[in-house]
Structures are given as structure tokens and as C-alpha cells.
A and B are shown apart, each in its own frame.
Chain A
């Protein structure tokens, strides 16, 4: 019970912090002082207090989009184990539901964007959909690797089995390939550098930010919070795989998980500081490489 309470409070409270950490890291590497660590929380509170401004072209779809996205992402997170703590809901085949809930979120984000009738938002929506068609099979290949290694079809068991013991006979290469592939998918799914630049000020070059240009106030707050949670979920996915089980003690493993996930946020911050955004046509190549890495890893494990 206590574990569940810790689990849920970390799940609900921590996501915005990761964005604070990323921004702080970027500021530090650029030699700036940067916004306070808790800035994302202040932003969210401010957004929820604001009044909305809505385009006259839109219908109820525009309103429902962020809500469906928010709920789908929050619910998807319940299926994901956090470190050594098992997922809140867990059943056979839950990873399929996990992937498809992200699909539902994407569907509604994009139709809400298209509802405004803006060319920019159309571009963002089209790009989001195009890239997801490559990341989705990549993600499934990664899932298959873990299904094969753990012999289970439920995320908690798939990710938490101590993989280092199982993979010894195959060497570390394939698991490293999966981890690199997943890291690329993490960056792409969350619209981070080098796929998308969250800080750009030119609508023409954006993906995620441009889709939500017309949302404001509480709806924008929901979108931002959902984006934070999505980043948190995928980071904890990566963290759970990489982090070995070094202890059976509940408290210590939570500390390990938190350190791990903060390190991932710092890593993303470093990547964003030292890399430029890729040209749109090159993004496809990067995503295909993630797809191929995960796919080849599966073949190596099964051979």
C-alpha cells in the first residue's frame, strides 16, 4: 500500500520536474543561470488559472483533443512499472494497449490541430503522423525483444526481469542496440532534439509545438502536463531496463530509480545542448535506424 502511494505520488508529481531539469542542464551548459527548477509547475498553475482564447473555426473536436490525449497518456502510464515498483494495472498483452493508447493520444492531438484549419498546424500533424509510422514498429520490435527475454507478455515482468543475467550468453551487443533504439524513440515521441526543437520560434520547423499553437489556458495546461507525463513514462521505461536490481529494499530501489530518471533527463539536456535539429528529410533516416537497431537485436536474440 505504501509502495502504491509512493508510486502514484511520484507518477503524478514528478513529470514536470524532469523538464525543469532538462532546461537547467541546457542553461548550465550554455553558461546561463536558467529558470528555476520548479518553473514548469508555476507555468502549469498559471495556465490552469487563465481564460481560454479559441479560434472561431473550431468545433468540439478542438476541445476534446487535449482531454482525450491527457487521459490516454495518464492511463498508459498506469501500465508502466517504475523501477522495481510494479505497474498499477498489469495483464497479459498490456504493452499492446500501452502502444495503442499513445496512438489514441496522437490521433486526437492531430485532429484537434487540424480542426483549426491552419496550415502550420496541418504541417505539424502530418509530420507527427509520418514519423510515428516508423517509431511504432520500432517500439514493437523492442517490446518483442523483452517478450523473448522474459517469456512474459506483461510490461512489469518484461521490463523488470533482471536482463543482465539472461543476456549473458548472447553478449551485451543486442541489448545495447535496443537501448540506443529506444533512446531515439524516446526523443522522437517526445518531440525533443534532434527530431524536433521545443524552443524554436519558427512555426514552419516545429512538430509538437506547432500542433498546439491555438490551444490556450487550461487546455494548453493539459497538453503540457500530458507531454511531461509522456516523457516521464518513456524515461522510466528506459530506466527500468538499464537499471539493474541491486537491492531488494523498497526504499533504496526508489532512490535508484529517481537517480536513474534524473540522469536520463540530464542526458536529454546534454543532447539538446550539443546537437542541432536535423533536417526533416533526415529525421526519417534517424528513425529508420532506431527501427533497424531494435529489429536486428530481435533477430540476434532469436537466432
Chain B
């Protein structure tokens, strides 16, 4: 039943854009109808996935394909768990898009965007229920290619084309790696079906090859360091609701792959868990460090995705190690942290991208250093963005804290119990706390640069609050963030059903915590209201600037100056480039200052390597001049070489060797 609902939802979402195209560009209600189909299908999908979480795993043969068997699909707790964000953000994003990317304003691109939005959501749905290489890859490629088209929505801009190309390269490397993975899978198991490999059935070398191929293929999609290079550009160039679904949901397909492979492979060696844990810690730390150095609000949010993928991988690493050392508690806590953070990240990251989109929609700019004071003109967006910012910093009482709490306890509990293998895990806990502190710093920077203070530049368009159709999806996401934060014990039921263990609530006292956070929220609201009522109307004055009577908005601390302390502290990895004009006199002329940070992998490693390869192989170009005589000559040479192999050299040399 659940699976059938999901199939209906996937078909509905796939067809939504087609319906739009059939209705034609001129038709007034075209976007509304398309969006309605997406939303109805999403609701069906959400219902199906919710049933699927709590029911037994099922499989179904979708259709028969003679050469490789059938397209097998299936649903279990894990797939259903990942389907929920797919349909949730798929539906809410389409709704948001109705306000953000109105068909009346974007005539040439709106239909394309709707069509591929549907394909993207459907592709993710299909890969999640795929139980056979065929159905899995159909979904995977549908997702990857439609994401490319969506990133290229604004293909008139050069930056957008460039980052689209980088994304296309990255996603193909990922797909090719997975091709090799599944080919090897077929070689080793004799089947293309996702079936667990028995203990001891394969040699360790083969298992290692399978694992590392999966790590590269899925890790590229997930955007873990150092394979994240495609991510910041692609997410910054796409329209904001597309960035939201790419960042909030599509990255998680890589995580899903890693979890699924982990379930299919037999007991892993400790190396695998260790590597995932280390990559997680590095992604988390460097992701947030690079985020702080950004000036572009969407690039900044994209780097935060790298950070959050890092946190998710830390959780996954604990679970892998738990399987190695046969510790059910580690598996439970690690998986709970990993999975819940998948949900949480899809909620607050989409909320933040929607918020950034509202700002972009209103101001037309993405540069943090010229904004400011927007909170007064867009109060609702500001409040919702603040909820997202607190949630992503992992601060109580919102949802980000709960998933981090699971991971913390997973990391620290072994050392409390005196486990001999605990020290490696425990060492990650301070790293996680540093990630949290840096993320909080970064979001203080973003929030204050955009929404607080006063406007820094006159370039901005007159700012206005976004329409309700954009605010409603954000509101729903914000409510979910708060709900998971204060009522974590109910979400834990979902987690326990997915990971088939019911020890979470006995280890982590979430009921106490829930009561605690309720009291906490009530006292904050209570005190706020009491203070407001009690105090007399305050006198309004200028901001204190050491007695300076005419402060201007350009005297404010900018986002760049806020992040400067971090830029200095982490200069060993950031290498910020600073351009400034020197002060040359007592009364100097106008001076300017500019700083930017290059991407760690793309700008500093890949581009130089590619450029070098191109230069080194340019001499080869002279062989390809386009003159057909030359090509005939090449063919002749090739034929001669081939014929030369027929010459019986061996017989010539044998007499020499014998003598």
C-alpha cells in the first residue's frame, strides 16, 4: 500500500511539468495547476513514506527487462525515512517557486524549471526505492541530469554556466565511479540486485575495493571534503528554491548510498569507520571555516552544507565502528544522530535558502557586505531566518541540537564506560564543539550583516516583504524545526523504528530534556512580555559612537570585518587574498579594500592541474589539423603497425636465444 502510494506520487510529480507544457505558456493558471499537482503528489508521497517507516520492508518487481533481470523496487524504513524530505521539500519548494520564480516574470525559463523540478524530485524518489541497479540508476541519472538543468536556469550569466559545467563533470565522475562499483558488485555477487553479502563470502581486497568506490561515488554527491568542489558554485548559481532542494535533499542521496552500502556489506574493518569519521571531522571543520570567509550569502550557505554533511558523516562513522566492534549502542546512537541530522539539515537549510531567496528577490543582491537593516522592512523573513540560523548552529532548544546531542553521546559514552577503543571517538567531540562555535559565529555574521543595523549601500532596490506564498513554506519549515527541538521523544520513535533498536530513549533522557526546553521557552517568552509591559516607553536616541553626533551606516562593522579574526586564525588553510590601496598622505584620497578566498580544491588543485595537463598535451594538437590526407596517413600507419605484428619475430630470435 505504502509503496503503491509512493509510485503514484512519483508518477504524478514527473507528469506535473509535462502538464504545464501542454497547457502552454500563455495560459494564466498554468503554474498554479502544475504546482497543485506537485503538492498533491507530495502529500500522497508523504503519507506513503510515513506508513512505510512503521511497516515491514516490501519489494516489488516494477517491470521485466530481459538483459539484466527486472527493475526491482522496494520500501523499507531507511528508504521511507529519506523519502520524507524529498517529498516535503519537493512540495514546499514548488509552492515557494510560485512566488519566487513567477511564470509571468520569467517567461523563458519558468516552464523548463517546473519540468525539471518534477524530474529531480521523481528521480530522487525512484533511486530511494530502487532495489536493483537498473531502477536505482534510472533515478540517479534522472536526478543528476535534471539538477544540471536546474543549476543552469540562468544560463545567460557566465558564472552560472561555469559552475554548471563543473557540476556536470563532478556528477559524471560520481556516476562513472558507481558504474565501476556496480560492475564489480555483479562480478563479486553474480547479481545486480541489492542483497546483503554474507560474512566471509568475499575477500577483504574485494570488499575494500567496493567500499572505497562507493565512498568516492556517493561522497562526491554528498559533497564531503575534498570532493565538495562542485558544490559552492552550483548551489550559489541556482535559483534559491533549487539551491534549497539541492543542498537540503540531493546531497543526502549520497549519504543514503553510503548507509545502504554499509548495510549490504558484511562487518566492516575498523579502517572504514575511521575514515568516515575523519572525513566527517575534516569536512565539518573546513566547511564552516570556508563558510565564514564567504561574502556571498548563497555560497556561504553552500559551504555550510559541507559542514553539515561532515556532522552527518561523523554520526555514520560511529555506526560503522559500532558494527566493527559489535556495539549495538554505538550503532544506535551514531545512526540516530546521522539520520536525524539528515532530516534536520533538510529542514533548516531549505529554510535558510528560502530566506536568502527572499532577500535576493527583494534586494537583487547576494553580497553580504552591502546589505543591512533589512529586518525592519522584512520582519517575518527576518524572524524565520533567525530560527533557521539558531537551528543550524546546533543551539538548544531547536532541532539541530538534538541530532548533535545523539552524536555527542555516541562519541563520549564509550569513554565513560571505559571502552578500550574509545579515545579515537572521544577526540572528535571537541572538534564537533568547535564546529558548533564556528557555525554560531558564522550565522551571527550573516544574520547581523543582512537583517540588523542599517542599510550599507544605496545600490539595493527598495526592499519589501515577500509575498505570503513564499512565507508559508518557510513558516512550515520553521515550525518543524521548533517541533523537533522541543518534542524530540516523538521523533525518536521514528528513528527507533528505522534502525530497529529501541534503546535510544533509555540512553538519552529526551523526556527530561523536552520538559526542560518547554520551561525554557516559556520563561523566555514570559520574561519578554513582562519586561515589555512593565517598562515605560523607552527614549529613542542615536547609537552610541563615542559621542559622535552623525554616525552613518558605512561606519558599521561589515561581514568581512566580523570574520576577520577567523580569517587570521585559519589563514593556514584559507589563504585569503587581500587587495587594498595604500594610505599615502595625511589626508588620503578614497581608498578601497577587497578580500576573497579561493576554493580549496577547485581553484587551488583541480584548475592548476587541468591547466598544466592542457599545456603539457597541447603539442598533440598538431596531429589533428582537419586535413583528410593526414587522417588517411594515420590510418595507413595504423594498418602498417597492425601488419607488423604478423611478422614472426619470435622465430627470428629463438635461434639466438637457444645458442
A interface residue numbers (CB < 8 A to B): 51-57, 59, 61, 63-64, 67-68, 70-72, 75, 89, 91-93, 96-97, 99-101, 103-104, 106-107, 110-111, 114-123, 125-127, 129-130, 132-134, 136-141, 144, 147-148, 150-153, 203, 213-214, 217-219, 281, 284, 295, 298-299, 302
Output the residue of A100, A138, A144 with the most chain B CB within 10 A: A100
Q: Determine whether the beta carbon of B527 is less than 8 Å from that of A153.
A: no
The answer to whether residues A147 and B436 also contact, given A55-B542, A107-B390 and a CB cut-off of 8 A, is: no
Residue of A52, A120, A133, A150 ringed by the most chain B CB atoms within 10 A: A133
Q: Are B373 and A57 in contact (CB under 8 A)?
A: yes
Indicate if the CB atoms of B528 and A63 lie closer than 8 Å: yes
Residue in B535, B553, B566 with the greatest tally of chain A CB atoms within 10 Å: B535
Contact (Cβ within 8 A) A53 B520: no
Q: Do A101 and B396 touch (CB < 8 A)?
A: yes
CB pair A123–B557 under 8 Å, yes or no, is yes
Min CB–CB distance A84 → chain B (angstroms): 22
Partner among A55, A147, A218 whose Cβ is within 8 Å of the Cβ of B541 = A55
Within 8 Å by CB of B448, from A93, A114, A153, A203, lies A114
Q: Taking the nearest CB of chain B, how far is it from the CB of A237, in angstroms?
A: 16
Checking A53, A133, A147 against B416 with a beta-carbon cut-off of 8 angstroms, the contacting residue is A147
Cβ of B401 < 8 Å from any Cβ of A?
Answer: yes
Determine if A96 and B440 form an interchain contact, defined as CB atoms under 8 angstroms apart.
no
**Do the beta carbons of B565 and A127 come within 8 Å of each other?**
yes
* A127 vs B253: C-alpha distance when bound (angstroms): 38
Interface size on B, residues (CB 8 A): 83
The 3 closest A-B pairs by CB, nearest first: A122-B557, A117-B453, A114-B448
Task: Give the chain A neighbours of B519 by CB distance below 8 A.
Answer: 75
Residue numbers in B under 8 Å from A298 (CB-CB): 426
Closest-CB distance, B462 to chain A (whole angstroms): 19
Specify which of A63, A64, A70, A96 is in contact with B408 (CB 8 Å cutoff): A96
Q: With A55-B540, A92-B409, A97-B396 given, is the CB distance from A106 to B440 under 8 Å?
A: yes
Question: Smallest Cβ distance from B367 to chain A, in angstroms?
Answer: 18
List residues of chain B with CB within 8 A of the CB of A147. 412, 415-416
Contact A302 B415, beta carbon cutoff 8 Å: yes
Bound together, the chains give a CA A237 to CA B294 distance in angstroms of 38
Known interface pairs A97-B513, A136-B437, A147-B416. Does A54 touch B538 (Cβ–Cβ under 8 Å)? yes
Q: Is the CB of A144 within 8 A of B429?
A: yes
Known: A71-B524, A75-B520, A103-B395. 11 other contacts (CB 8 A): A53-B539, A54-B538, A54-B539, A89-B516, A101-B396, A111-B448, A118-B543, A137-B431, A144-B412, A151-B418, A217-B538
Q: Which B474-529 residues have C-beta < 8 A from chain A?
A: 507-509, 512-513, 516, 519-520, 523-524, 527-528
**Chain B contact residues, CB within 8 Å of chain A:** 372-373, 375-376, 379, 382, 386, 390, 393-396, 401, 404-405, 408-409, 412-413, 415-418, 422-423, 426, 429-431, 433-434, 436-438, 440-441, 443-445, 447-448, 452-454, 507-509, 512-513, 516, 519-520, 523-524, 527-528, 531-532, 534-536, 538-546, 551, 553, 555-557, 561-566, 568-569
How distant is the Cα of A129 from the Cα of B437 in the complex, in angstroms? Answer: 8
Question: Across the interface, do A126 and B395 meet the contact criterion of CB distance under 8 Å?
Answer: no
The residue from B438, B512, B541, B562 contacting A53, defined by CB atoms under 8 A apart? B541
A97–B540 alpha-carbon span in the complex (Å): 37
A64 to B545 CA separation, bound complex (whole angstroms): 22
Give the CA-CA distance A104 to B551 in the complex, in Å: 30
| Smallest CB gap from A148: residue in B | B415
Residue numbers in A under 8 Å from B569 (CB-CB): 130, 133, 284
- Minimal Cβ-Cβ distance residue in B for A150: B416
- What distance in Å separates the Cβ of A8 from its nearest Cβ neighbour in chain B? 15
Asked if A213 contacts B376 (CB within 8 A), the reply is no
